[in-house]
A and B are shown apart, each in its own frame.
Chain A
Amino acid sequence: EPEVTQTPSHQVTQMGQEVILRCVPISNHLYFYWYRQILGQKVEFLVSFYNNEISEKSEIFDDQFSVERPDGSNFTLKIRSTKLEDSAMYFCASSEINNQHQHFGDGTRLSIL
């Protein structure tokens, strides 16, 4: 079964540095998402992306965050100047159409020092 793949599995970054988390969604999917899960807390929506633009974003997704689909396969989340509270597990997801279930990757654990 096709999978959503995320790299790296673990990223350690100094506070204030930029970080880019990478995702390869399932190839025929059109809708892309980022979620995060702070340790011990629930999974929270960050942003959805369709047709090369953001379709919805949460209040967490402030000016420090951006997403991009630089080519036909990758979907990236950039955090410009990381803060300690950005430490979390970040999940990428994709779906074929927007009323089907979303397929999740295994996540990138981001640790900010």
Chain B
Amino acid sequence: AQSVAQPEDQVNVAEGNPLTVKCTYSVSGNPYLFWYVQYPNRGLQFLLKYITGDNLVKGSYGFEAEFNKSQTSFHLKKPSALVSDSALYFCAVRDNTDKLIFGTGTRLQVFP
């Protein structure tokens, strides 16, 4: 069965420092991988996706993620964090069906 793991409930980082939010996945076949961000009282906003091609994917707001097939990981990164990046981040996987399977989410806190 498909699954996604986000091992950290919360990540704290100082503004200006690089950030990493971890995600590992388990899926049969080729994975379609996504990152979404959720701000308070809002829906999920798409950040980036990996379907095929380059393992390093660039997305919105300066975020990027690296697909690593051997480690079955898709960690979200940003070189320099902003206080406004503080939010809840969800990794999701989709195989050859329609549905997205989400991780439990990681709360990112960026301190000034």
Contacts and interface: CB of A to CB of B under 8 A. Distances in A.
A91 B99 contact: no
Interface string B42-58: 11111001010000000
Contacts of A91: 43-44
B36 A104 contact: yes
Interface size band for A:
20 to 34
Interface residues of B, number: 22
B34 A101 contact: yes
A4 B43 CA distance: 10
Given A42-B104, A42-B105, A58 B99 contact: yes
A43 B99 contact: no
Secondary structure of the A contact surface, majority rule: strand
Contact of B41 (A35, A43, A101, A106): A106
Nearest to A105: B43
B87 interface: no
A39 to B, nearest CB: 12
A3 to B, nearest CB: 9
Interface of A: 4, 6, 31, 33, 35, 41-45, 48, 50, 55-56, 58, 91, 93, 98-99, 101-107
Given A55-B98, A103-B46, A106-B41, 11 more contacts: A4-B43, A33-B100, A42-B90, A42-B104, A43-B90, A45-B100, A50-B98, A58-B99, A91-B43, A101-B49, A106-B42
Contacts of B51: 99
A45 B2 CA distance: 13
A56 B43 CA distance: 22
